[in-house]
Structure 1
Amino acid sequence: MANPDRQTATLALAHALSAAERGLPVIPLSPTKLPALRSPHHDDAPGTARCRGECGLPGHGVHDATTDPAAVRALFAAAPWATGYGIACGRPPHHLIGVDLDTKGDTDAVASLRELALRHLFTLPPTVTVLTPSGGRHLWLTGPPDVVVPNSASRLAPGIDIRGSGGYLVGPGSVTAHGAYRLAPGTADRDPAPCPRALLHLVAPPARTRTKPATTRAPHGEGLIAFVLAAHEGQRNTRLFWAACRAYENGLGNSFAERLVSAALHTGLTEEEARATLASAARLTTPPRTDR
């Protein structure tokens, strides 16, 4: 019988091959949840051009991710200490978006996500859900191929991290120093569900529009007003929420609120809707008090 470490490594490879068969690009992970293979450029001189796998050697983190069974086996053979695997997000064919919900301490990311869903009128579809050793969960969603979703930590709300292009999720069946990752009951046979459009607007940066160079610099915050005023029906509330979050994060929220409300009214929102959206943005961007 194989020793526990070897058995864990064998199971990690088996789970990784199963994920690769479903079109999910994978890499081996160490018990610390970091890529198991050290970069071949670790000792390169500072300032050397960054390689993302063009050299053909393994050890480039998520850039090594592959669905080819032979390549997966080769990666795990080079890292026999791997006890888990990572799934690259943002890659075809699924263009995976991971919603990482934390529940540590006073953080209740599940409740925060529910509040966002109510505020922005979207419903989370049944999808693949992975339970983490700390009691949190990862929701797997798919995005459109022409939208690049960046990685973020607690930007939407405390405890909600987004794994997008260049990021990875710890795959179910992985064993880490803190425990095992496993599929939530009833989700094993599901495919990742499409990300609701309203949630996609929140996690993806707004599309940049080309404008003529300004002869003078616009006053601080004018771009946020212009962003709200450019909203079409179906995106007015989302644009206002995004602009309000940026305003509060940059210390403009309180002094800028009336101008944002005025811009929202111009797009067709009611004053009640606009002020409720600003209140939600203020709640989600203001750190909780710790002097209790």
Structure 2
Amino acid sequence: MHQPTPAALLSAALAAAARGWHVHPLRPGGKAPALHGEHACPHSGPCAGGHVKWEQRATTDPDRIRAAWTTGPYNVGIATGPSGLVVIDLDVPKQNGKNSSDAPCGATSFSALCERAGQPWPTTYTVRTPSGGMHLYFTVGPGTQLHNSARTLAPYVDTRAWGGNVVAAGSITPQGVYEAINRCPVTELPTWLMRELQRPAPAPVTVAPLIVPGAATRRATVALERETAAVRGTGQGGRNNRLLEGARALGRFVAWGEIPRDVVEEAFQAAGEAAGLAPGECRATIRSALDWSIRTCRPRDAA
């Protein structure tokens, strides 16, 4: 793949800054910040008074940008919060297994979200990502402070705001280029989307002790109670991974005939939804996790 020159990346950084977006260098060919982290902080220069994170060091100053990007072919990161941006990230499921294609992509989920709200797909500055996903850029007023979200709007739909970072158009990773496919001005975040993002998190659900019907063993029942409780107690950002881990942990008991699969699926579905995950996302994750665990688990005598 063609590698961008430092001059091209500098141009991309200056173009983003000209729009009022605060930029910072990302590692060459990557998406992680190139600035030092807290553990490696020299406590000098900008950090003389204490570690300053990349979000605070991001800048629109052309002189600072030139000084940074002339030292290497850094990709360009945009600190969304200081830039007054909310970026909706429409992701694409990773094709790691035969069931991954069952899940809707972020664009499909977002289109359905617009349809349910009775609203058109919003027209705004848009970047296509190397994976085939999209970043939709929106502005918010200075009095509004939104934070990142992970699949709370819909499956494979994340948002980046305060605390968040997106890779700017013109950057390149081994998977491909970040390309602006609609260079129109950034529009204001639609009111209906603002309401969705400001919707309070669901209140904690008090769940009665799990009663497993049939011939479930005691250890399978205890494991299911423990894992579903962990899913219900996981906060935003780690819920789907915790659901995946929990269902994988129970797959072996299903394979060994110690608990019916439908009981496990129903319990994890309820736990995932109680944690705030979308029903479709829960079903896809649980099915994939159980299929993998059942297929790969060792025989009970060898465990």
The TM-score by the shorter chain falls in which range? 0.5 to 0.7
Q: Which whole-Å CA distance do the structure 2 matches of 1:62 and 1:155 have between them?
A: 23
Q: Which whole-Å CA distance do the structure 2 matches of 1:133 and 1:27 have between them?
A: 20
Please say if 1:100 is aligned against 2:71.
no
Please say if 1:87 is aligned against 2:78.
yes
Note the alpha carbon deviations across 1:165-202, whole angstroms, 9 max, x for none. Answer: 12111100011222211111xx22x1111111111122
Structure 1 letter corresponding to 2:13: A
Q: Relative to structure 1, is the Cα distance of residues 282 and 128 closer, same or farther in structure 2, using a 3 angstrom cutoff? A: closer
Among candidates 184, 201, 204, match of residue 198 of structure 2: 204
Structure 1 residue aligned with 2:189: 195
Structure 1 residue aligned with 2:146: 149
Structure 1 residue aligned with 2:123: 126
Q: Which whole-Å CA distance do the structure 2 matches of 1:98 and 1:43 have between them?
A: 29
Structure 1 residue aligned with 2:241: none
TM-score, length-scaled by structure 1 = 0.62
Q: Relative to structure 1, is the Cα distance of residues 57 and 119 closer, same or farther in structure 2, using a 3 angstrom cutoff? A: same
Structure 2 letter corresponding to 1:36: A
Q: Relative to structure 1, is the Cα distance of residues 74 and 205 closer, same or farther in structure 2, using a 3 angstrom cutoff? A: farther
Structure 2, unmatched stretches of 5+, are 96-100, 207-230, 234-272, 292-303
TM-score, length-scaled by structure 2 = 0.60
Q: Is the 8 A contact 1:58 1:64 kept in 2?
A: no
Q: Is the 8 A contact 1:35 1:62 kept in 2?
A: no
Among candidates 265, 275, 283, match of residue 279 of structure 2: 283
Cα deviation, residue 70, structure 1:
0.6
- 1:247-258, aligned counterparts within 5 Å? 250=232
CA RMSD after TM alignment? 3.3
SS at match of 1:155: strand
Structure 1, unmatched stretches of 5+, are 45-49, 208-218, 223-248, 252-277
Q: Which whole-Å CA distance do the structure 2 matches of 1:15 and 1:146 have between them?
A: 29
Structure 2 residue aligned with 1:37: 35
Q: Which whole-Å CA distance do the structure 1 matches of 2:200 and 2:14 have between them?
A: 36
SS at match of 1:117: helix
Q: Which whole-Å CA distance do the structure 2 matches of 1:25 and 1:19 have between them?
A: 8
Structure 2 letter corresponding to 1:34: A
Q: Which whole-Å CA distance do the structure 2 matches of 1:102 and 1:66 have between them?
A: 27
Q: Which whole-Å CA distance do the structure 2 matches of 1:56 and 1:17 have between them?
A: 28
Structure 1 letter corresponding to 2:155: P
Q: Relative to structure 1, is the Cα distance of residues 121 and 284 closer, same or farther in structure 2, using a 3 angstrom cutoff? A: farther
Q: Is the 8 A contact 1:151 1:161 kept in 2?
A: yes
Q: Which whole-Å CA distance do the structure 2 matches of 1:96 and 1:220 have between them?
A: 30
Q: Which whole-Å CA distance do the structure 2 matches of 1:26 and 1:124 have between them?
A: 27
SS at match of 2:15: helix
Note the alpha carbon deviations across 1:32-88, whole angstroms, 9 max, x for none. Answer: 2111222375168xxxxx99x5537997323211111011112224x5141x10111
Q: Is the 8 A contact 1:40 1:57 kept in 2?
A: no
Structure 2 residue aligned with 1:212: none
Q: Relative to structure 1, is the Cα distance of residues 177 and 113 closer, same or farther in structure 2, using a 3 angstrom cutoff? A: same
